[in-house]
Amino acid sequence: MSNPPLILGSSSPFRKVLLERLLVSFTTESPEIDESPLAGESPIALVERLAVEKAQKVAENHSHGLIIGSDQVAMHGAEIVGKPHTHERAVEQLRTASGKSIKLYTGLALVNAETGNVQSAVIPFTVHFKPLSDEIIERYLQKERPYNCAGSVKSEGLGVALFERFDGDDPNALIGLPLIRLVSMLETEGFDLYA
């Protein structure tokens, strides 16, 4: 029996590269959903809800298949750290992170389009920053230009040089697709990774 189609509900090139590591055939589709938080919604609830909504939105276009949804938020204390978009904001974000920790929460969902079954989880991951001088921050930003990356850090690139260490069960969660948990979800649905 062959595997159902596997669809990554994301436009992220980084998530696509991560999923390619599993050596499985898949397609990508970009879900168009409102990503605004609900009133009083915690960051953990937000990323889990958005991961599920993304997967369900893509599932609406398919009668069968397994759809992966993912969403991530970075937290510095009680504050959500978003994408900086500007150089000035990136400098501010990195100065704030210097010598401190940022907690990432990655929501992951797998929806079976045929049965409607939904699996979801939130995977935490902590990044500890080195003390960063203004000169290092400036040189890093000029070289990497991570203005579309949460917290101004492109961790799959030079951003890794800003870190002292990580705490977490799956290093892939840092980039936004926790493969260890995803493999478990796929196996629960009977997907054969070795086919």
Catalytically annotated residue among 71, 134, 167, 192: 71
In a domain, 73, yes or no: yes
In a domain, 193, yes or no: no
Give the per-residue pLDDT at 71: 94
In a domain, 1, yes or no: no
Give the per-residue pLDDT at 107: 97
DSSP for 166-186, written as a single string: EEES-GGGGTT--HHHHHHHH
Share of the chain above pLDDT 90, in %: 84
Dig out the tokens for 110 from the structure: 């797998």
Among residues 96, 98, 102, 157, the alpha carbon closest in space to that of 127 is found at 102
Report the SS3 class of residue 164: strand
Rounded CA-CA distance 109/59 in Å is 12
Dig out the tokens for 188 from the structure: 């629960």
Give the per-residue pLDDT at 163: 96
Tell me what the mean pLDDT of segment 144-154 comes to. Answer: 89
User: Would the pLDDT of 78 be above 90?
Assistant: no
Report the SS3 class of residue 1: coil
Radius of gyration (Cα) for the chain, nearest Å? 17
User: Would the pLDDT of 1 be above 90?
Assistant: no
Tell me what the mean pLDDT of segment 157-167 comes to. Answer: 94
Q: What is the CATH number of the domain that holds 16?
A: 3.90.950.10
User: Would the pLDDT of 156 be above 90?
Assistant: no
In a domain, 108, yes or no: yes
Dig out the tokens for 192 from the structure: 């054969």
Domain span including residue 126? 6-188
How far is CA 78 from its chain centroid?
Answer: 19
User: Would the pLDDT of 89 be above 90?
Assistant: yes
Tell me what the mean pLDDT of segment 62-70 comes to. Answer: 97
Give the per-residue pLDDT at 28: 98
71 in active site: yes
Mean pLDDT of all residues belonging to the chain: 95
In a domain, 33, yes or no: yes
In a domain, 89, yes or no: yes
In a domain, 194, yes or no: no
In a domain, 46, yes or no: yes
Give the per-residue pLDDT at 148: 85
Rounded CA-CA distance 41/38 in Å is 5
Q: Which residues pair with 6 in a beta bridge?
A: 66
Q: Looking at the 3D structure of the chain, how many domains does it have?
A: 1
Rounded CA-CA distance 11/38 in Å is 23
